[in-house]
Amino acid sequence: MFGKLREKLKKFTKTVEEKIEEEEKTLEKGTPEEKKGFIEKLLQVEIKEKDVEEALDELEIELLEADVALETVEALREKINENLVGKKVRIGTNKGKLIEDGLREAILEILTPEKKIDLIELIKSKEEKPFVIAFVGFNGSGKTTTIAKLAHWLRKNGLGVVIAASDTFRAGAIEQVEEHARRVGVKVIKHSYGADPAAVAYDAIQHAKARGLDVVLIDTAGRNELNRNLMDEMKKIARVTKPDLVIFVGDSLAGNSVVEQAKQFNEAVKIDGVILTKLDADARGGAALSISHAIGAPILFVGVGQGYDDLRPFDEKWFVERIFGEG
């Protein structure tokens, strides 16, 4: 996971470390007066803008190559700069660690959303059941699998769930969601192909009300911004069902384009949270690093495999550990 990103950040650490070592050497070569001042300064050097600038330029290009979105790269650059420039480094201390800490902190800041969502608490705090979640995204992003994983997770947390088979567009979609739901022991409300997806969702909500179920998960057809009709249909589903949350499901392997997709969906229907799938196969990590910053909605979960238990509530610290850890 994130091997490429790890490599690039390590390279940055090394370059800045070398620059600081160069500064140390200049001090050691200084005149007796300079050396005296140097000892008085407790044998320390200050990290200067010029020490990090070149390495930041390089990192900027490499992050873009790792599919981190441009605005995220710029924000990261600013934060890394703030975290490192002006820092005093005592000679003999572990410079690599100090630089890495500055990087970690910058990434953590970028990843930490303004508003966090505790899904279970949010569901339980809704006075009138059910809590409605609509899932939107491109074709093949892993939406249906993710809905089944989330249904499984919600049930493990003691909540009653029903799924609305609102992808009445793609051949085989209804059978696919039924099969997943059967395996995780959740009922599906369906109509036939070509039926109004908003009507299916509406029926699922009525079903949940009648049975006292806590959550309705609405599976919608995969679409993109060029499918005008499907985008309008998605807005209709949102209008009719008034979901408590709209979750964008994106394939992390799609890199920067998944960030662009999320922006377009966010314009059409406001996205409240993100689930990124296939993180287990993602060497670049760019989408995960950028998406929350780009649309201002938190990553709620990440998919880390094909099994129903392979869904992790997202935690920024866990992500940073994955980047800086050894694999």
Ligand X SMILES: Nc1nc2c(ncn2[C@@H]2O[C@H](COP(=O)(O)OP(=O)(O)OP(=O)(O)O)[C@@H](O)[C@H]2O)c(=O)[nH]1
Provide the binding-site residues for ligand X, judged by CB under 6 A: 139-146, 167, 170, 173, 222, 277-278, 280-281, 303-306, 310
In the complex, what is the shortest distance from the CB of residue 270 to ligand X, in angstroms, rounded to a whole number?
Answer: 20
Q: Which pair of tokens denotes residue 196?
A: 């109004």
The whole-angstrom separation of Cα 11 and Cα 265 is: 35
Give the residue carrying structure tokens 């799924």: 163
Question: Is residue 30 part of an annotated ligand binding site?
Answer: no
In the complex, what is the shortest distance from the CB of residue 17 to ligand X, in angstroms, rounded to a whole number?
Answer: 36
The whole-angstrom separation of Cα 208 and Cα 81 is: 52
The whole-angstrom separation of Cα 134 and Cα 291 is: 19
In the complex, what is the shortest distance from the CB of residue 92 to ligand X, in angstroms, rounded to a whole number?
Answer: 45
The 3-state DSSP class for residue 298 equals coil
CA gyration radius for the chain?
A: 24
Question: Is residue 279 part of an annotated ligand binding site?
Answer: yes
Q: Are 186 and 161 in contact (CB under 8 A)?
A: yes
Q: Which is nearer to ligand X, 72 or 141 (CB)?
A: 141
Question: Is residue 101 part of an annotated ligand binding site?
Answer: no
In the complex, what is the shortest distance from the CB of residue 37 to ligand X, in angstroms, rounded to a whole number?
Answer: 57
**Helices H / strands E in the chain, number of each:** 13, 10
Question: Is residue 168 part of an annotated ligand binding site?
Answer: no
Question: Is residue 220 part of an annotated ligand binding site?
Answer: yes
Question: Is residue 140 part of an annotated ligand binding site?
Answer: yes
Question: Is residue 296 part of an annotated ligand binding site?
Answer: no
Bridge partners of 187? 162
Q: Which is nearer to ligand X, 5 or 173 (CB)?
A: 173
In the complex, what is the shortest distance from the CB of residue 284 to ligand X, in angstroms, rounded to a whole number?
Answer: 15
Q: Which is nearer to ligand X, 160 or 305 (CB)?
A: 305
Q: Which pair of tokens denotes residue 284?
A: 């670049």
Q: Which is nearer to ligand X, 39 or 281 (CB)?
A: 281
Question: Is residue 19 part of an annotated ligand binding site?
Answer: no
In the complex, what is the shortest distance from the CB of residue 15 to ligand X, in angstroms, rounded to a whole number?
Answer: 34
The whole-angstrom separation of Cα 239 and Cα 94 is: 56
Q: Are 273 and 295 in contact (CB under 8 A)?
A: no
Which residue of the chain is nearest ligand X when measured via CB?
Answer: 303
Q: Which is nearer to ligand X, 159 or 173 (CB)?
A: 173
Q: Which is nearer to ligand X, 93 or 224 (CB)?
A: 224
Q: Using CB atoms within 10 Å of the CB of residue 111, give its burial: 0 to 12 exposed, 13 to 18 middle, 19+ buried.
A: buried
In the complex, what is the shortest distance from the CB of residue 232 to ligand X, in angstroms, rounded to a whole number?
Answer: 17
DSSP per residue over 76-131, as a string?
HHHHHHHHHTT-EEETTS-HHHHHHHHHHHHHHHHHS-SS---HHHHHHH-SSSPE
Amino acid present at 283? A
Q: Which is nearer to ligand X, 16 or 253 (CB)?
A: 253
- Binding-site residues, please? 137-144, 219-223, 277-280
Binding-site residue ranges for GTP? 137-144, 219-223, 277-280
